[in-house]
Amino acid sequence: MRRFTAALFLLGLGVMIAAIYQHIDFSNTAVNAGQAINAVAAEETGAANFVTSVVLAYRGIDTLLELTILFTAAMIGGMVLGRRRVDAPRDPDAGFILRTGADLLFPLLLVVGLYIILHGHLTPGGGFQGGVILAAAFFLPLLARPGITLIDQRVVSLVEGLAGATFIIIGLLAMFDGKEFLTPLLDKGELGALISAGTLPILYLAVGIKVGSELAGLLAHLAEAEALD
């Protein structure tokens, strides 16, 4: 019965998608907002990476919300998983290779992460990607040595709060200037230079730190969750 319904279901779905595909014209429109952004982004934001322009400038509020989602998810994760009992069993330590590898990788990952974040407005990458690498940097030692407290949850929550707040405060600064919220400030500089694109790199730094701390926090929560009996 179950297989039959499943088959029926897939058949129906297939028919539906085929029907959509038959009736929808998938030739792409050349006229779209993205191309318009490509045309003006370099001038308006000063970032060589137009995706960054979109992420931080044109759709900056989306990014703020996205950070908030991460923040919320991390917070709820902490709330749901709760504190572990002191005497709860832990996973055993990883082997020598993993421990050494983690130690070696830690500084490397930090540097790579920061590099990617800081060059977000120039090259592929940015706060999110870099932030994930930062989180990985902090998570690896945790995998290698379950039970160490490399990162204090209180510090994490402070950092994530402050990073998010920085993002918003930079946005609010524009309002003090009489502009709209999140309007890029500062000099745009020379296109392609490291110090350019006004406040975008600062925003990306905030994003990177925030993503890093949220993810690290979340992963730490998950790892800290009491092992099953």
Partner 1 sequence: MTALDYLLLISAITVVIALLAGNMRVGGWLVTILYALQGAALLMMSGLGYSTMTVVQSSLRFNVLSEQMLWRFDALSWFFALITIGAGLFCSWFASGEWGEKYRDNGGNLRLFHGALALNVFTMLVLLASGDLLTLFIGWELVSWASFLIMALAGGKAFDYAMRYISYAFAGAMALLGGLLLIYAEVGSFDFQSLKEAVPTMSSATLWTLVVLLTAGFGVKMAILPFHLWQAKAYAETPGPGAAFLGAISSRMGLFAFIVVVVQLIGISRLVEMEIPYTFLDAQDLLAWIAVFTIIIPTYIALRQHDARRLLAWHGVGQTGYMLLGIVIANDLGSAGGLMHVFNYASYQAMLFMAVVAVIHRTGTSDLNKLGGLFTRMPLSYLAMLIGIIGLAGLPPMNGFVSKWLIYRSLIVDGSPLLFIGAVIGTLGTILSVYKLIHNIFLGQLRVEHAAVREAPLSMVIPMMLLAAVVFVTGYFPGLVLDWTSAVQTSIGLPVLAHHLGGVSISGGLDMIWIVSVLLVGFGFGTLVFFLGGRSKRVHQLDNYAGGHFLTAETRYHYSDNFYPGLMHLIGPWYRNSFEWLERGLISAVDTLSTAMQGLYRNAHPSYLLLVAVVFALSWVIV
Partner 2 sequence: MDILDNNTILYIAAFGLMLIGISGIVISNHLMRIIFGIALLEAGANLLLLLSTYHEGASAPIIVADNIPTMMADPVPQALVLTAIVIGVGILALALSLAIRVQRAYGTLDMREVRLKLEQEISDEAGIDMPSSSEKPDDIAKVPLNSVVQQESGS
Partner 3 sequence: MSLLVLMIVLPLLTAFLLSSIDRLSTFAARVMGPLVLLATAAIGLSVWPQLGDAPLAVQWGGFQAPLGITLYADQFGLLFALAMTIGTLLLWPRSTENQLRSSSLALLLAGTGSGLALSGDLFNIYVFYELMTVVSYGLIASRGTSGSFASTLRYLVISGFGAALALAGIALVYQATGTLNLAQLAQLAPEKLNNLQGFAAFVLMLVGFGVKAELFPVNMWVPEVYATASSRVSALLAGVVSKLALLIIMRLLILVFHQPEALTVLLVLGILGVVSGELAAWRARDLNRMLAFSSIGQLGVMFIALSIPGNAGIFAALAVMVHHLFLKPSMFLLAERWGGSIKGLAGAAKTSPLGAALFVLLSLSLIGVPPLPGFWAKLLVIMPLLALDQPLYYFAAFVILAAASLEANYLFRVVMKLYEKEPAATPHNAHATLDLATAVFLGAGLVAAVFMLIPLADRLDGIAAQASDVSTYIQTVAPQPLQSGGVQ
What count of other Cβ atoms lies within 10 Å of the Cβ of residue 92?
8
List of residues 6+ apart from 7 with CB closer than 8 A: none
Number of residues in contact with partner 1 under rule CB under 8 A: 8
- 124 binding partner 2? (CB under 8 A): yes
Nearest distance from residue 50's CB to partner 2, in Å?
A: 4
50 binds, among partner 2, partner 1, partner 3, none (CB under 5 to 8 A by kind): partner 2
Q: Alpha-carbon dihedral of residues 34, 38, 39, 45, nearest 10 degrees?
A: 110
Nearest residue (CB) to partner 3, 33 versus 97: 33
* Contacts for 191 with CB less than 8 Å, ≥ 6 apart: 42, 46, 48
Q: Which positions from 116 through 145 interact with partner 1, judged by CB under 8 A?
A: none
Instruction: State the nearest-atom distance from the C-beta of 198 to partner 3, in Å.
Output: 11
Give me the DSSP letters along 151-170: S-HHHHHHHHHHHHHHHHHH
**Which residues in this chain contact partner 3 in the complex, by CB under 8 A?**
20, 23-26, 28-40, 44, 57-62, 64-66, 68-69, 71-73, 75-76, 78-80, 154, 157-158, 160-162, 164-165, 168-169, 171-172, 174-175, 178-184
| CA separation for the pair 14, 209 (Å, rounded) | 43
Binding site for partner 1 (CB under 8 A): 9, 12-13, 15-16, 19-20, 23
